[in-house]
Amino acid sequence: SLDASGAVLSRCPSCSRNFNNIYCNNICSPNQSLFTNVTRVINHTSALGVHQLAVVEYQIFYRKDFAD
């Protein structure tokens, strides 16, 4: 998933690292519930016909020291 941003951020290694860090925290952090607020979901049917909810919009709240 990070390859798509690589072309845009490849000229700035620091920007690339920062973006990757934030992206990975959004997706993989075991503490997502502490800083993520889901604001919109939709009903989704998978290719196997399974009905699921899919998150399509969310808010992220980071501490200032993390953002800096």
48 pLDDT above the threshold of 90: yes
Q: How many CB atoms lie within 10 A of CB 19?
A: 16
Residue type for position 26: N
Instruction: Summarize pLDDT for 1-42 with one digit per residue, the tens.
Output: 677 777 778 888 888 888 888 888 888 889 999 999 999 999
Domain ranges of the chain: 1-30, 31-63
Dist CA 33 CA 35 (whole Å): 6
Where do runs of H (alpha helix) occur along 1-68? 3-9, 13-28, 64-67
pTM of the model as a whole? 0.62
pLDDT, residue 1, reads 63
Q: Tell me what the mean pLDDT of segment 52-67 comes to.
A: 88
